[in-house]
Amino acid sequence: MDDNRPALTKEEICTHYGDDYDRYLGAIVPPIFQNSLFTRKTINHGYTYTRVSNPTTEIAEKKIAALEEGEEARCFSSGMAAITAALMSVLEKDSHIICPRNVYPPTKGFLESYMTKFGIETTFVSGESTDEIEAALRPHTKAIYLETPLSNVFTLQDLKAIAGIAKARGIVTIVDNTWATPLYQNPIAFGIDIVVHSATKYMGGHSDILAGVMIGRKTLMEEITHRERGMFGAVMDPHQAWLLIRGLRTLPVRMRQHQENAGKVAAFLEGHPMVERVLYPGLASHPQYELAKSQMSGTSGLFSFVPRGDREQITGFMKRLRLFEEGPSWGGFESLINSPGLWLSEAASRESGIPQGLVRISIGLENADSLMEDLDASLNKITGV
């Protein structure tokens, strides 16, 4: 880009940046390079093998790096592929990492089970207190892994403060930014080193791809290309990259709708007599509402709440819903509900911080009034509470 031109808006990055119309014969939608091999007898174009690089995948990477205000991005075959690659790029044998206890469960499982065979220790913290994180530091701490907000309890971590603590000690910080998306939160701007996303969620947006992405400094991304991504082969398929690009084109308008719908539904649930508590950083009642406003410019459509009633009553409430499908994912066009707190014992609830009976809800692109009517009708059938 010409440095004298105005900076591109997020919308312009999503719709045009990296598409290189001149290179692709003016095609408004660049082609899919659905091939494994690039030969070079007559021209040295810089490509060899799709496991290393592919023109279609590079378009997605350029857009996402620009959106995240990072130097470069690398796309992976899933969010977990990006997360594990980021962790393995930083952690060494017998090193130590700090991580919130309510982080995405497969991430927690990777750290507390798989990585222990390399002598890697993890200290799990709530993440809400920077003092707690500082107290957990050890001489061999190599990384602090964050996810803000956490996707079940929706508590936040102070990115700027934690990045400052880490940089003073040469510790690498990694943030899962899937919930807020690069439209509403840019951790690198607060001093974070590496950002990861499950692009399966809002970036893809249509519940039809598995995709992950990592963003960071250029030298690290070049190493990742040949090391954690190239060696393990967890590279994004060109067709998946093309679908991701399609999703990115509509990301701004979709996120506005997710945010608007979720704000209405969360406020409605907060005032409902059959709801004990709503956990959503977009509500002024959230205990970290001011922190949310300071590091995010918007919110998304995923949050949790605790209905009144016992296990059977809450299960019945979920089954009666007409517009909400039941499932564990989120970030697509459809509204979903699942129950991470429904089967927790009292002891497990205390340990995890997840309230018993908590359900998680992903607000899609349907009409908000219809979603509220659906929730209201089902909640009002909970009796005997």
Give whole-number Cα distances, 41 to 44, 48, 56, in Å.
8, 12, 22
The pLDDT of 289-293, averaged and rounded, is 98
So what's the pLDDT on residue 341? 84
Reported as type and span, the H/E element at residue 226 is: helix 218-226
Tally the C-alpha atoms within 13 A of residue 359's C-alpha that lie toward its C-beta. 29
pLDDT tens for 17-48 read 999 888 888 989 999 999 999 988 887 788 89
Assign a CATH topology to domain 10-249.
Answer: Aspartate Aminotransferase; domain 2 (3.40.640)
Tokens coding 324: 């909400």
Domain residues of the chain, as ranges? 10-249, 251-379
8-state DSSP, 31: P
Does residue 202 have a pLDDT over 90? Answer: yes
So what's the pLDDT on residue 172? 98
CB-based contacts of 168, cutoff 8 Å, min separation 6: none
Does residue 289 have a pLDDT over 90? Answer: yes
Question: Phi/psi at 121 (nearest 5 deg)?
Answer: -105, 145
The pLDDT of 44-55, averaged and rounded, is 90
What whole-number distance in Å separates Cα of residue 141 and Cα of residue 94? 10
What whole-number distance in Å separates Cα of residue 250 and Cα of residue 246? 7
So what's the pLDDT on residue 46? 87
Question: Beta strands 121-125 and 141-147: pairing type?
Answer: unpaired
8-state DSSP, 262: H
Question: Phi/psi at 172 (nearest 5 deg)?
Answer: -85, 135
Residues in the chain: 385
CATH placement of domain 251-379: 3.90.1150.10
CA-nearest of 379, 376, 239 to 316 is: 379
So what's the pLDDT on residue 1? 44
The owner of tokens 């400094």 is: 217
pLDDT tens for 103-114 read 999 999 999 999
The pLDDT of 282-296, averaged and rounded, is 97
pLDDT tens for 294-314 read 999 999 999 999 999 999 999
> What rounded mean pLDDT belongs to the chain?
95
Confidence category of residue 3, pLDDT binned at 50, 70, 90: low
Confidence category of residue 265, pLDDT binned at 50, 70, 90: very high
So what's the pLDDT on residue 344? 81
The pLDDT of 358-384, averaged and rounded, is 96
Q: Is the dihedral of CA 100, 102, 106, 112 positive or negative?
A: positive
What whole-number distance in Å separates Cα of residue 358 and Cα of residue 169? 38
Beta bridge partners of 305: 278, 359
The pLDDT of 137-156, averaged and rounded, is 96
Distance of CA 211 to the CA centre of its chain: 11
The pLDDT of 205-228, averaged and rounded, is 96
The least confident of 74-83, 200-209, 335-344, 357-366 is 335-344
The pLDDT of 252-269, averaged and rounded, is 98
Does residue 154 have a pLDDT over 70? Answer: yes
CA-nearest of 275, 256, 257 to 266 is: 275
So what's the pLDDT on residue 5? 63
